[in-house]
Structure formats: structure tokens, C-alpha cells
Amino acid sequence: MTHRAAVVAVALLHVAAPQEPFRSSAELVTVDALVTEGRRFVTGLTASDFELLDSGVPQAIRQLYLDELPISVIMVLDTSGSVRGERLTSLRQAALAIVDRLRPDDRAAIVSFSHQLRLREDLTGDRAALRTAIAALDAEGGTGLRDAAFAGFALAARERRRTLLLVFTDGVDTASLLDEDRLLDLARRSEATVYAVGIRDDVPDLRSRMLTRPPRRLVSDARFVRHLAEQTGGRLVHAEQNRDIGPTFERVLSEFHSRYVLGYTPEGVTARGWRPVEVRLVGRKGRVLARPGYFAE
């Protein structure tokens, strides 16, 4: 497809789109999908390049968007005691980089967590307010990672736009009321996409008084946050060191912008509750990363 034709096709698709395309409802289900070939994002695909199955039943893709729609970014940031010092500085810079890359219609929120959760700035397009909130971040206390992730889901629940939940943690959860299985179930019910950023270095975990360094390099709660992200069609990305946190955040945002949004009206599917969804490519190579399903109320 030529560039001009692509622009026309996209414009037509855009005109045909309903006003609030991102609510999975009886009328419309949307699925975020990242297509890669090796390390490269695949762009320029059309609806005919995809096959989408809902509960095993093929569906007609009625809408397809790529990198055009406004987004909300909810940053859920670990500010427990282990994040003090250089790591906190790097985290602030990383969050500021996200704010700097927001587009005019984008919004962002800052939620910080130690054992307590705090909304530093609610969803807003006001960059100055976001920058002020980021500058005020401090680090102390335990790690309520699971409760904080749920806070992100709860705030995202009202959003009628694509929402990226960017969760940063360097430690293991020690303070949450909600357990892992519960959180994974809540993640499956969310329409937000979780990208988790962990850090891989040899700084002792936040309970450093208790935990020793294991024989291998210590990582954050990788297994859990990976599963959490996968429930939403996202993934876990590692920053190797503190100075890599910023570039990693930017890479996450780029990747989120590179995801296709597929919209369809379920046909031939009537079951309530969990519906598995599968997105495949038709006639070409590549890997698709998308949420595994959704809840139909």
C-alpha cells in the first residue's frame, strides 16, 4: 500500500470509528496487539493481515488503528526504601522523559508506592503539574506492589481511551493486602495494558536486613510482574542498571505507540465471563503479543 493510500485508508477507518472505541462492551471489543519480527516492530499492516478468534470463533475486524489515538499513561512507581539515592534520581528522570514525550491529547498520572500508596498527580495533560509531582517523589518504606498495581487498574477503569500502566519496581512485595492470584485475576478484567519495568543489579532487596544476596544476581519480583503484564497483553522489560531506567521507559512508550488496536463486534459468541482471544497474522511471519482474553459481563 502506498503512503497516500495508507493515509486515506486510515482516515476512512478513523471517520468510521465510534466516539469511544475503547470500551469492551457487548457492542465492541478492542484488542491491543504488538507485531514484531525479530526485534523490529512491524508497521503498515491492515485488517486483512490479521485473524482474530474470540472463544475460538473467527471475528471480522471492523476497526484498526496504529499510533493515532490519544493515550493515558498511569505510572505506578516503586518508591520504597531501596529506591533511595541514585535510583530515585534515575526514576525521576525516566518519569520526566515520559511526560516530555506525551502528545497534546495524551494524559498521565503518577502513583507512587512504598507500603502506602499515593496519588502524586491524577490523570491530567498538565505537564507542569506532572513535573512538579515527579520532583516531589521520595523513597522510604516497604513495597506494596500488588495493591499499587490494583490502584492503577482502578484508576484506569474509568478511562475511555487506550491506557498504558507503566509499573516500575526494584523489589519484592512485602506489604500488600491483595495476593498474587487475586491480582492476576484483576489484571484479566482490566482494559489497560501493563508494561512492567524491573531492574537487574546486585543491590540487596528492600528487606536487605533479612535477605542475603543469593548465589546469582538478584532481580526484582520478576515472575509475578511478568505474569501480571502478560494477562493484559503487555510484558516485562528489564533495565540493567539505574542509568538504563530512563531509556527503558522511553522504549516502553515507543512500543506502546507501535501497537495496533483492533476492534470487533463479537459474533457467534454468547458465553458470559472469560472469553479467550487469539490474534494471528495471516500469510506473513511475525509474532503477535496481545491480551489473552476479556471478561464479558
Q: Give the binding site for another protein (CB under 8 A).
A: 111, 115-119, 122, 142, 147, 150-151, 153-155, 157-158, 172-175, 177-180, 182, 186, 189, 205, 207, 209-214, 218, 221, 223-224, 297
Rounded to a whole number of angstroms, the minimum distance from the CB of residue 169 to another protein is 13
For residues 73 and 172, which CB has a smaller minimum distance to another protein in the complex?
172
- The sign of the CA dihedral 242, 246, 250, 253 is positive
Residues 6+ positions from 216 with CB-CB distance below 8 Å: none
For residues 124 and 258, which CB has a smaller minimum distance to another protein in the complex?
124
Classify 201 as helix, strand or coil: coil
- C-alpha–C-alpha distance, residues 246 and 253, integer Å: 11
For residues 15 and 210, which CB has a smaller minimum distance to another protein in the complex?
210
For residues 23 and 131, which CB has a smaller minimum distance to another protein in the complex?
23
Rounded to a whole number of angstroms, the minimum distance from the CB of residue 51 to another protein is 30
- C-alpha–C-alpha distance, residues 205 and 155, integer Å: 28
Rounded to a whole number of angstroms, the minimum distance from the CB of residue 1 to another protein is 38
Distances, alpha carbon 182 to alpha carbons 11, 37, 167, 187, in Å: 41, 34, 17, 9
Rounded to a whole number of angstroms, the minimum distance from the CB of residue 65 to another protein is 22
Rounded to a whole number of angstroms, the minimum distance from the CB of residue 221 to another protein is 7
- C-alpha–C-alpha distance, residues 246 and 100, integer Å: 12
Distances, alpha carbon 44 to alpha carbons 6, 15, 234, 260, 262, in Å: 8, 19, 21, 10, 14
Do strands 260-264 and 287-290 pair parallel, antiparallel, or not at all (unpaired)? unpaired
Cell of 223: 515472575
Give me the amino acid identity at 229: A
For residues 59 and 80, which CB has a smaller minimum distance to another protein in the complex?
80
Residues 6+ positions from 280 with CB-CB distance below 8 Å: 50, 51, 52, 53, 288
For residues 113 and 260, which CB has a smaller minimum distance to another protein in the complex?
113
Residue 253: what are its φ and ψ, rounded to 5°?
-65, -45
For residues 104 and 214, which CB has a smaller minimum distance to another protein in the complex?
214
Distances, alpha carbon 11 to alpha carbons 5, 45, 95, 105, 230, in Å: 10, 15, 32, 18, 31
For residues 142 and 263, which CB has a smaller minimum distance to another protein in the complex?
142
- C-alpha–C-alpha distance, residues 77 and 254, integer Å: 19
